[in-house]
Amino acid sequence: MQTIITTDDTSAINTRDRGLNYGDGFFTTAKVSAGQVEHWQYHKARLIECAERLAFPAINFIELEQHIKTAITGCKLNVLKVVVTRGEGGRGYGLPQHTHLTILITVSAFPQNYSALVKSGVNLALSPIKLASQPLLAGLKTLNRLEQVLIKNAMASQQCDDVLVLDHQNNVIEASAANVFAIGNNTLYTPSLEQCGIKGVYLQSLCDKLAVEFKHVSLNELTQARAVFICNSLMGAVPVNRIEQHPFNVEQSMRLLNELLAKEAKC
């Protein structure tokens, strides 16, 4: 069973909800364009994977998709967020015997700066916050995002558009709210997400178009790439203009990516 709460709903979330108390849940954030959710099949797959790996009951997508359709009616360019919690119940951390999901649907304004960043590229600094390893949660977009809160807080005092985040072995993992990928010698690679980090929807869609290698990436290797991008489901692929003091050519980066996509399209 599940209860769905939408943006205009006056229903209150119970103070005993496990999402509030333990971060026991997951979410996805999608771009809405002309009344349609972009990459919905990938967002749906993410929700299904999160539910399975976290031992949640199956989501009723027929009901959920109907609520989403109603919520985004008339939307031209917006952000859809779907949050799923395990609801109430259980003793302490223990799971409830019968789970009644709480699902929150919100629609908000689209960030105005994203289109400009695609053209100008992003300047990246190095975050002083490092990600902890937890392979059981790696790749999932769970509600436990305190690391990202600390990263964003530290970023406020850094002169940059975004930051690169490393793990405690000094491997590059991701940006503050985006994946990272790079182009080498006509190859495309991205950091391994086996121990930590989130596998984003846009990155997954890119993997379905191009051969993408997941591997351990050092900061030095990344700065030696021909082109570097950050990406998520809202802004798509955004070229990196600079990592710390190392510059990249944004026009060349976009040309290299477009060449790879065009080459794959012909195959």
Catalytic residue among 28, 29, 102, 223: 29
Q: 176 with 205: CB under 8 angstroms?
A: no
Non-local (6+) Cβ contacts of 199 within 8 A are: 139, 179, 193
Is 38 a residue of the active site?
Answer: no
Catalytic residue among 141, 190, 199, 223: 141
Chain center to CA of 140: 9
Q: DSSP of 30-99, one letter per residue?
A: EEEETTEETTHHHHHHHHHHHHHHTTPPPP-HHHHHHHHHHHTTT-SEEEEEEEEE--S-SSTTSPPSS-
Spatial CA neighbour of 57 closest among 27, 30, 29, 84: 84
Q: 125 with 93: CB under 8 angstroms?
A: no
Q: How many CB atoms lie within 10 A of CB 40?
A: 16
Non-local (6+) Cβ contacts of 92 within 8 A are: none
Q: 151 with 176: CB under 8 angstroms?
A: yes
Structure tokens given for 180 = 């990272």
Structure tokens given for 156 = 């406020």
Is 31 a residue of the active site?
Answer: no
Is 174 a residue of the active site?
Answer: yes
Q: 222 with 173: CB under 8 angstroms?
A: no
Catalytic residue among 31, 174, 190, 199: 174
Catalytic positions, please?
Answer: 29, 141, 174
